[in-house]
Amino acid sequence: MSALTDLYQEISLCRQCEIARARTRVVPGEGAENAEILFIGEAPGWHEDQQGRPFVGPAGQFLDSLLSSINLKRQQVYIANVIKCRPPDNREPLPIEIANCQKWLDKQIEIISPKIIVTLGRYSMARFFPGKSISKIHGTVQKQNGIIYFAMYHPAAALHQGNLRQVIEQDMLKLPSLLTQAQTQTETSEETATESDSQPQQLSMF
Ligand code: URA
């Protein structure tokens, strides 16, 4: 069994929050165990809860089309959420639910060891860009501990506010050159790693 399959098993046994009792299926995440890009959304919705897979509803269809705009398929990346169970009536996740679920996301990041983490929406952004506003930092990057963090609006935002669709599409188009940059950095990082790498660094690229 792979490390991720073992982890899915553990996640499926988790009953730490009330919402675990109401879920149809847990939604741990899916994709390549060695993915270079990890997308992190908010929480499963109705469709995801039914299927046990992330981003399979209308927001997921838009995410798929964003991925194909940069010639990627979802099997080549990894897609997860901040929380793994659906909040009833699609309400926003509670701080306690986010805190309880943090260990699962941390383990996913450790196993996948992505070069780039793309935060989709406010909840995911808040984890890596605390205190920042999505309207100000979408489309920008920050580097820490060898990982590039890239903030984007949640794909569902385009379904509610049509004017954001183009913004999200444009932000997505920045990913291929970021990935090239990340791949180049990995090749040289072993020799050049410094203490400052553990401090957040704004990259000036965009
Ligand atoms: N929205 C999310 O944040 N995650 C999903 O998996 C689906 C919709």
User: Does the CB atom of residue 155 touch ligand 1 within 6 A?
Assistant: no
The answer to whether position 83 is within a domain reads yes
The answer to whether position 67 is within a domain reads yes
The answer to whether position 195 is within a domain reads no
44 CA to centre of ligand 1 in angstroms = 5
23 CA to centre of ligand 1 in angstroms = 14
The answer to whether position 196 is within a domain reads no
User: Does the CB atom of residue 41 touch ligand 1 within 6 A?
Assistant: yes
34: containing domain:
7-175
Instruction: Quickly list DSSP for 26-72.
Output: ----EE-TT-SEEEEES---HHHHHHT-SS-SHHHHHHHHHHHHTT-
Taking the CA of residue 48 as reference, the ligand 1 atom at the shortest distance is: 6
The answer to whether position 101 is within a domain reads yes
The answer to whether position 185 is within a domain reads no
Number of structural domains (the chain) is 1
Sheet holding 30-31, edge to edge: 30-31, 78-81, 37-41, 116-120, 147-152, 141-144, 201-202
The answer to whether position 182 is within a domain reads no
Q: Taking the mean position of all CA atoms in its chain, how far away is CA 195?
A: 26
Cα torsion for 136, 141, 145, 146, to the nearest 10°? Answer: 170
Contact call for residues 165 and 59 (beta carbons, < 8 A): no
DSSP-assigned beta bridge partners for residue 79: 30, 39
Full-model pTM = 0.92
- DSSP letter at 116 equals E
46 CA to centre of ligand 1 in angstroms = 9
Pocket test of ligand 1: the residue of 25, 42, 50, 53 to mutate, having most ligand atoms within 8 Å of its CB, is: 42
Residue 190, pLDDT score: 54
Q: Per-residue pLDDT for the chain (206 aa), expressed as one digit of tens each?
A: 799 999 999 999 999 999 999 999 999 999 999 999 999 999 999 999 999 999 999 999 999 999 999 999 999 999 999 999 999 998 999 999 999 999 999 999 999 999 999 999 999 999 999 999 999 999 999 999 899 999 999 999 999 998 999 999 999 999 999 999 999 887 766 555 444 455 566 654 44
Alpha-carbon Rg for the chain, nearest whole angstrom, is 16
The answer to whether position 41 is within a domain reads yes
CATH number of the domain to which 126 belongs: 3.40.470.10
Pocket test of ligand 1: the residue of 38, 40, 48 to mutate, having most ligand atoms within 8 Å of its CB, is: 48
